[in-house]
Each structure stands twice: as structure tokens, then as C-alpha cells.
Chain A
């Protein structure tokens, strides 16, 4: 297994880069889709009810199934003058976009309500929530391995398959989990640290802020 590592680690890192690309695109797409929905819900106009229904529908969407649905059912789509083919990469981005849209919409409405009631910290916590949601989506983009996106999990799977011994396979998976755990726990601690500082500054209870963390799609 040791001889595999020099080849595996660079490939793993380039795979992780794909995970970050997917999460970035999905978050941008989610903001584009979620912001108007949040605005519609917040202003309580004619569009509020359809927007609330749409967000409720988005919350029920299982990302993993949507990904398979897009890959198998939607051959491609037009966006303006350009035509896009439904590649596995795009399918993962779009399925995570739906999750991100529901998340952005829900949390932006809450942030706008807090802002209106004169609490600027809510807006800042919304940004922190987005950062956390981004990292959650980085992890969730691993679903792409099931439809053929070559990202970090796919690279790990490929490497596992070349190892004949079960012990080596388990060891490699454990190593990858340790890498993920160290990296992401550091990131989460940084986020919580900044969040704590914000709370201290604006005297907001720590508990209420921490509970706003994003769950996986």
C-alpha cells in the first residue's frame, strides 16, 4: 500500500479540487435561485405563497436521486444561446443547487427579518452559514462518484480496487477519513471561532447561533 501513496495523494488532491469546484458552482446557483425566492417570501406579496411552496418542494428533493434523474432523463438544456449537455458533473452541480437554493432561501428570510428588527449580527451569521453550507456541499459532492464524476471519492475508490488485501483497503479508507477529518474539523473550528467572536461582539447567545448549522443535503 505504501508504494501506492505517492501516486494516490496527488490524484486525491486534484479530485478534491473537483469537489470544491462543484460546491462553488452549486452555491452560486443556489444563491441565484434562492435569493429571489427569499425576497418573494419576505415581502409577503402575491408571490409569497408559490415561493413558499417551491421551497417546501425543494426541501423534499433527495440530492442523490435527482443526480441520477438528471443524468438519465435530461439529455441537455438551452441557456440563452448556448446548449449544455447533461454531463455527470453538471448533474451533481444542479442537484446540489436545489439543496443550496432551499438553504439560502430559508436562512436569507430569517436574516432579513432579523435585520428589519435591528439585529445586524443575523446578516453576518447568514454569511457564516453560507460558508458552512459550502463545506457541507464539498462533502456531499462525493455523491458524484456514483454517476462517474472523477472527484476525491472516485479516486479513492479506484485506488481501493487495485489493492488485493482487505486490510490494505480498510487502511486506505481510514487514511482518507483521517485526511478529511483533520481538514474539515480545522475549518469548522475556524468557522465556530469567528461565529463566537461575532456573538461576543453583539452579545447574542452562543447556543442560538450554533444551532443554525447546515445539515447535509
Chain B
């Protein structure tokens, strides 16, 4: 296989490259001799074994570096379909930043690269099972992955989650996201950070759906790894319409080798990577593929400094970056929740994942959601009741301006989608500079109360008018009209309860908003949304029952009103 390399320019640089290669190759050979001493094979092979194919002997090596040098091939697990990092060109050949890096690393060892396509799902398994010697496959270095593979440091790239949207949108940072809807992919650990900062999350299964939704107008803001958007932002039309608002949660990307037997290969590759940073070859490679980032310039400066330019610096915490710890802290009873899930599975055969009880972040969101939902429903029911009485009295008032002002409020309430009224209330609250969830809750209660109370009030007013006709010239009391319109009152009170989850569009952290956030970072949706549906159905049934009891009691004492 032809080895590609970045054009280094003049003869001085060429000489530098040669010197570097010699040094790494020398170290590799030295390490591989050391590795031979650890080989479990007998020191003198019998004649039959000596005649066996060379490849077979190479495969028997416990040390991965020894196997690579013996076979003169480096099997590199790479991705495809992720431009400009790794993708197939028109002829079907693999191209991209990571593909060229694989060639460079193989070249530094003096061996031929053999590219093996892996996916995010099987890249670590391929390494563990020995199907590849190393992986360069858009893999972030996290503390959790450190248990499964050995990451070569320095890292070769650093991505971050970016929030991207149309150019005309002004979003300054994470804290400015409160109340904005951001489209995300399910299972992304950085979603927790977005939800904690008050963003409303809309979930999608695939990253490509985010781009589709951006273009179709279903999403105004999307959050995803910047490496995903790199190729899109290289397209002039896309770059003219959208830009990155800000980035957060930096994640270093690393070349990984197997934990067992890969230590020496990691040492040699670390030295190669250090040299690639110092020489600027890695940065040049990134520039060539349009993935240059400030990280690579910083790393070049860092590794060229007197502190980090030494071989000993490869283990110096001042020079190498620490892996990202993206695991959310588990609850103290997470193990019991696991046991409960297992019990349910054994008893019913149904897999249930109670993600909302497993991490503190999720549990806090759940409890806050339940609390806000209950407050919202109680507030909406009381407000509906209050507005119904106010509209009932106002629409039948003997003062014309009171009647007309009530009608002017009633008509838009009857003719506008509830969600638009919620958005209006949210915009007013935002314009007043109030962003607290309690203010949003109060505004939502007001909207739900006005929306349902005005309609219920109209029924009360119509009942009042018929009572006046029937009892003229006596003036019937409002309570008599409420008694006559009690069925409508109950219907609109229940309706207010059913409509209360729509308050999530205003940024009220009720249960729908809370569990959508939980689903976004836990990757679990079936149990989560089933739980949500059951919660709200029970809540509606409870309000219905209480309203029916009120109606029955009113009917019992109906003689006083009728």
C-alpha cells in the first residue's frame, strides 16, 4: 500500500523527518527486543515450527508491537462515512485526516498500514479481540473508555459540542440558552449540561436528522460534536446560512491500542505523536483536510516547549491532557434500581429501564418535574375556576364597557392555538427580563386559566342570561348560573389539566420537560415516556374525579340554586 505523507517542504525538514523516523524505528526495535524476552514461546523452536509460515509465527506474538514489526503490517481500525476525518472517495478508496494519520504512524514504524473499517459500536471490541492493532476512529478519550483500551497520548485532535443555528440568531453562551429549544441526538452525555442550563431539548435518533431539521425549519438550534459539522461548514451554502454559536465540553480524541499486549506499541506511537505535534505535521495534515482547530496549534506550542519536548514528558500531567469524565454520578440506590429492573424482567419478560432513578441529575430533574407539574395543575384548575366566575360575571354585567372588554379577551382566547398563547406569554416574560422557572410557571397558570376559564365563563354567562329570561324581573345570583353550567365548568377544568404539559414550551420545568431531558442523556425513552403518559393520565383522572364529586355535591344542594 502506498504511504501518503504530508509535503514537508525543504531538505532541512526532510532531514528532520528522516531523523525522527530513525529514532522511532530504533526505539521500536529496542522495545520489541525487550518484548521478545517476555514471549512465552520456547527459546529454541523445533524444526517443524521453524518451517511454519512467517505470518503464523507473527500472529503468535503476545506483544502487539512485536507482531507488527514481525509481520511488517499495522492493522488500523478506521471509520468511514465521517468526512473529512474518514470517508470513501468516488473510487471507493479511503480518504481523510485519520486515514492519512494512520499512514503516517505506520510509516514511522516502517511498516505497511492495513485499513480495517470499524464502527463506533464495534471499534473497542475489534481492539480487544485482536482484529486490529490500533484504532483511529473519531474516538473521544474518556475515563470510562480507559478501562477498555489504552489511549496513546498526546491526543491527535480535540472536538467539542457546538450549538449551531441560523446566522441571524444571537446566542452568547450556555447560560443564554434558557428557554430556547435545542435539537440533540439521544444518548449524548453533553445533553445533561444543556438541560441543566435551562435549554428545552428536542430529541432525534441520528445526527443527520439534525441537519435535515435545520434545513426544514423544524429546529432553530442544534447541538452536536463539531467534528460532525466540519464537512457541512465547508459547504459554502451551509456556511452562509448557519454558524457555530459557541462550544462546550471539550473531548480529546486518541489513538487507542489493546490493553493487553499493547503497552509497547502505545509507547512508540506516543513518541511518533509527540514528534508529529512538534514538527507541525499533524497541524498541516489537519489544515489539508479542513479540520484545523486551535487545539492543534496549542499542542504544537506545548510539545515544542522545553518542558514537554522530552521523552519523559509523555507521562507528565503538565503536558498530556487528562481524559474526560462524562459519567454522571449514580444515586445511592442505583444498584437496587438495577435489581428491580432485573426482577421485572424475570417476572414479566419486559425490559424496563428506570433511568430517572439511576443518576442524581436525572432524579433531581424528575422530582423537580413532578413538583412543578402538580403546582401547574393546581394553579391551572384554580385559575380556570376564578376566570370562569370573572368572565361569567363580566359578560353579563349591566355595564357595557365591562361586557365589551370581556368579549375582547374572550374572542382571541377562543380562536388562538393554546401553544401560541404560551409562546406569547413566554415572549412577554422574556421581554420583561424574568427568566426564573417560577415566573414561567405563573405565566403558564395565567394562560391556562384565561384560555379555559374564558370558555367556561361564557357557558356561565349563557346560563345567567337564560336564568334572567326565566326569572325576570328578579336578578338571579351568579351561583345559580354556575350550578346550571356545572358540566361545562368541569369539562374546562379537566381540559386545563390536560393542556398543562404544553407549559413546557414556555420553559416551565414540568414533568414532560424534565423527562425529555432525562431521555436525552440516558438514551432510554420507552420507560421514560410511558411513565410520563401514565403520570399525566392519572393526574387528569384525579382532577376529573374530584370535579365529579364537586358536581355531585352541587347537585345534592341544587335546590338552593335552581
Q: Which residues of A contact B (CB under 8 A)?
A: 57, 59-66, 68-69, 72-73, 88, 139-143, 145-150, 152-158, 160-162, 164, 166-167, 169-170, 173-174, 176-178, 180-185, 188, 205-207, 210-211, 213, 215-217
Contacts and interface: CB of A to CB of B under 8 A. Distances in A.
A177 B424 contact: yes
Given A73-B530, A181-B411, A215-B492, A68 B512 contact: yes
What are the 9 closest A-B residue pairs judged by CB atoms, nearest first?
A142-B417, A184-B415, A148-B218, A166-B431, A207-B466, A60-B540, A181-B415, A62-B498, A72-B525
Given A170-B427, A173-B423, A65 B501 contact: yes
A38 to B, nearest CB: 18
B76 interface: no
Interface of B: 166, 168-170, 202-203, 213, 216-220, 411-412, 414-421, 423-424, 427-428, 430-431, 451-452, 455, 459, 462-463, 465-466, 485, 487-488, 491-492, 494-495, 497-502, 504-505, 512, 516, 519, 525-526, 529-530, 532-533, 536-537, 540-541, 544
B537 A62 contact: yes
Contacts of A156: 420, 423
A172 B212 CA distance: 27
Contacts of A69: 529-530, 532-533
B419 A145 contact: yes
Contact of B415 (A154, A180, A215): A180
B532 A65 contact: yes
Given A146-B419, A181-B416, A215-B491, A64 B411 contact: no
Contacts of B414: 184-185, 188
Given A69-B530, A157-B220, 5 more contacts: A59-B540, A66-B533, A146-B504, A211-B459, A215-B455
Contacts of B431: 166-167, 169-170
Contact of B220 (A62, A161, A180, A185): A161
A166 B525 CA distance: 36
8 contacts: A61-B540, A148-B218, A160-B427, A162-B166, A173-B423, A180-B415, A215-B455, A216-B418
A91 to B, nearest CB: 12
Residue in B415, B430, B512, B526 with the greatest tally of chain A CB atoms within 10 Å = B415
Given A161-B169, A207-B466, A153 B540 contact: no
Contact of A140 (B412, B418, B500, B504): B418
A65 B533 contact: yes
Nearest to A188: B414
B427 A153 contact: no
A84 B451 CA distance: 35
For the residues of A in contact with B, the DSSP-based class is helix
Given A69-B532, A148-B202, A211-B485, A154 B430 contact: no
B221 to A, nearest CB: 9
Contact of A158 (B217, B494, B504): B217
Nearest to B212: A148
A215 B218 CA distance: 28
Contact of A216 (B463, B499, B532, B533): B499
Given A60-B544, A162-B166, A170-B424, A207 B419 contact: no
Contacts of B533: 62, 65-66, 69
A73 B499 contact: no
B157 to A, nearest CB: 32
A60 B541 contact: yes
Contacts of A143: 417-419, 502
Contacts of B516: 68
Contacts of A152: 417
Given A154-B218, A181-B415, A216-B495, A146 B505 contact: yes
A23 B417 CA distance: 13
Contacts of A153: 417, 419-420, 423
Given A64-B502, A72-B529, A158-B217, A140 B417 contact: yes
A58 B487 CA distance: 18
Contacts of A177: 412, 415-416, 420-421, 424
A88 B152 CA distance: 44
Contacts of B497: 62
A174 to B, nearest CB: 8
A64 B508 CA distance: 15
A61 B415 CA distance: 23
A61 B423 contact: no
Given A164-B170, A177-B420, A64 B501 contact: yes
A169 B529 contact: no
Nearest to A67: B501
Contacts of A160: 423, 427
A201 B217 CA distance: 50
A107 to B, nearest CB: 12
Nearest to B420: A153
B425 to A, nearest CB: 10
A141 B529 CA distance: 21
Contacts of A170: 424, 427-428, 431
Nearest to B541: A60
A217 B498 contact: yes
Contact of B420 (A62, A173, A185, A206): A173
Contact of A64 (B415, B499, B525): B499
B451 to A, nearest CB: 8
A64 B412 contact: no
A149 B417 CA distance: 14
B411 A162 contact: no
Contacts of A185: 411, 414-415
A73 B529 contact: yes
Contacts of B544: 59-60
B501 A61 contact: no
Contacts of B519: 72
A206 B533 CA distance: 39
Nearest to A139: B417
B462 A211 contact: yes
A212 B500 CA distance: 23
Nearest to A187: B415
Contacts of A57: 537
